[in-house]
Structure 1
Amino acid sequence: MKMQLGNFPVTWFQPKKGNEKEYTVVIYHGWGGSGQSFYEMAGETVEEGFNTIVPELIYHDTRSPLENPFDKKTMQKYFWETIFNSINEFEDFINACKLDKKKLILVGSSMGGFIACGIHAAHPEIAGSVCVNGSGSFLYTEKLFRKMDNRDFLSGADVELFKKYDPIGKVRSESPVLLIHGDNDTIVPIEGQKHFYDYLLQTDENNRVTFKIHNNVNHKFTSEMVNEVIQWIKKIG
């Protein structure tokens, strides 16, 4: 069901009565995508009894969408701005949706994976997060992006901005994290995901962090990945 909650347009999927679980899943889509592309997955999580919300993100869907999101300069200008904005507005978002952080599981694909990692780092009480073909190592991954595009190095001000949001350096949550990535990803390098995984392992005394690499897979959220996410969520809820 599409609805407007405060300033946030969302699509909310509710399980059948008698099949409700206490956890809510929030799914964040990727750059240039839309919430609608994850309705099928939301249908699977709601079938398992989880309330599931697919929010619209700034510069997508009805929230000031960009005319040509895949233009290089447009991506470079708005990609991180979308991520940082989504992190900034999260507190207002959960208040508008009347959600309990401790009963919340975040799932993100590509850019949405960055968002899920960034929100989890800022709100460690969240029950768990999933990052598919994204990265929780912001500054490190931006350096990889710039190297791929033959762009200039980051300025000192840019570095400070990234550090403000970067999960690297934040207090690590004790709740579980699932990282999934295709080893042939040519859009978001797997090295950024590996860098984040290594960081999380530093204090992972309870084997709460899982990293699954899919061989011969490019930047794609495959059906096998979806199934892994569903099974992982079921273990939490």
Structure 2
Amino acid sequence: MTDYLKSNFIVEEKIRIQEISAIIFKPREVKGPIPTVVFYHGWSSNKELQRLRGFILSSVGYQVVIPDAIYHGERNRLNDYGWNMAKQYFWDVIFRNLEEFNIIVREIVSKYNADSKRIAVMGNSMGGFTAGGIFTHNEYVKTLIVLNGSCGWENFNENIEEPIDKELVEKYDIIEKKVTDMNPMNHLNLLKNRPILLMHGDSDNVVPIGSQKYFYDKLNPLYEDKEKIKFIEYTDLNHFVTTNMMEESINWLGRYL
């Protein structure tokens, strides 16, 4: 099939950062260090399926890097992405993304002209969990945008908890401790007054809106400047990214990146 997602004004390149496969978009005529968005895909997705979003963000002046997560894309894909596999690997993927983020940033700053003082992180679904964790634990990241994800990790786990296979109990004990330790909800002091945009459908049946709303309701009172934190609920919207969400993202980046 012919690929029509091309432009004389946007450069798209597949890159590899150590073992991390990624796609990078940037405006062709860019000069000097460029503000850069690292965008994380969701469970069962991959970098190629996010190309349109990278293209849209790059078309308004940003460099966009979309990495494949482990077990996705070019990185040892799973045979299926059903619930049983998600129970085993979902948090493994998120924590590996967190570990790899600074590797990605060092590479794009040294080799791809990213402005080290103008880095944003953004993600959809599982990528939104990732983005929230990265932003919490990396103070230099300027802004966070989460689409249909959650920054209330423990609250999310509590609300989707199902019986665990006996052989996974020990692994889950380790994961639960790590979730508690890294959960953005448990580090609100690292987040207050930093620019955060959260967007979510109120009918999302994959990542229910409740855990994200819980996080927002706890964090919002800590902000002196309420313009820097925004939570948009989309009525009757399930687990989808809309044109309106992309427009809000562009406006937010224009203000805070």
Q: TM-score, normalised by structure 1?
A: 0.91
Alignment deviations for residues 40-69 of structure 1 (CA, whole Å, 9 cap, x no partner): 111111111111111111110011111101
Q: How does 1:2-41 map to 2 (within 5 A)?
A: 2-18=14-30, 22-41=34-53
- Please state if 1:217 is matched with 2:247: no
Show structure 1 runs of 4+ deviating over 3 A: 18-22, 99-102, 154-159
The one-letter code of the counterpart of 1:119 is I
Report the Cα offset of residue 17 of structure 1.
1.2
Alpha-carbon distance in 1 for matches of 2:143, 2:241: 19
- Please state if 1:184 is matched with 2:203: yes
Alpha-carbon distance in 2 for matches of 1:209, 1:162: 23
* Distance of aligned partners of 1:198 and 1:21 in 2 relative to their CA distance in 1, 3 Å threshold: farther
* Distance of aligned partners of 1:129 and 1:101 in 2 relative to their CA distance in 1, 3 Å threshold: farther
Report the Cα offset of residue 101 of structure 1.
5.0
The one-letter code of the counterpart of 2:53 is M
Q: What is the number of residues matched between the two proteins? A: 232
In terms of mean alpha carbon deviation, does 57-66 or 220-229 score higher? 220-229
Contact kept in structure 2, 1:25 and 1:51, CA below 8 Å: yes
Structure 1: runs of 5+ lacking an equivalent? none
- Please state if 1:67 is matched with 2:79: yes
Q: How does 1:34-49 map to 2 (within 5 A)?
A: 34-49=46-61
Partner residue, 1:87: 98
Structure 2: runs of 5+ lacking an equivalent? 1-12
Partner residue, 1:199: 218
Q: How does 1:160-171 map to 2 (within 5 A)?
A: 160-170=177-187, 171=189
The one-letter code of the counterpart of 1:161 is K
Report the Cα offset of residue 178 of structure 1.
0.3
Contact kept in structure 2, 1:19 and 1:49, CA below 8 Å: no
Alignment deviations for residues 98-146 of structure 1 (CA, whole Å, 9 cap, x no partner): 2555311111000000000000011122110111110001111011111
In terms of mean alpha carbon deviation, does 34-43 or 183-192 score higher? 34-43
Specify the SS of the correspondent of 1:63: coil
The one-letter code of the counterpart of 2:105 is I
Contact kept in structure 1, 2:34 and 2:115, CA below 8 Å: no
Alignment deviations for residues 180-228 of structure 1 (CA, whole Å, 9 cap, x no partner): 0000011101001101112221321111110000000011111221221
* Distance of aligned partners of 1:231 and 1:145 in 2 relative to their CA distance in 1, 3 Å threshold: same
**Residue 105 (structure 1) aligned to one of 120, 125, 148:** 120
Specify the SS of the correspondent of 1:23: strand
Alpha-carbon distance in 2 for matches of 1:76, 1:114: 15
- Please state if 1:54 is matched with 2:54: no
Contact kept in structure 1, 2:91 and 2:175, CA below 8 Å: no
In terms of mean alpha carbon deviation, does 13-22 or 82-91 score higher? 13-22
Alpha-carbon distance in 2 for matches of 1:107, 1:130: 5
The one-letter code of the counterpart of 2:256 is I
Larger Rg: 2
* Distance of aligned partners of 1:64 and 1:142 in 2 relative to their CA distance in 1, 3 Å threshold: same
The one-letter code of the counterpart of 2:184 is P
Alpha-carbon distance in 1 for matches of 2:32, 2:196: 23
Alpha-carbon distance in 1 for matches of 2:33, 2:248: 19
* Distance of aligned partners of 1:145 and 1:34 in 2 relative to their CA distance in 1, 3 Å threshold: same
The one-letter code of the counterpart of 2:102 is E
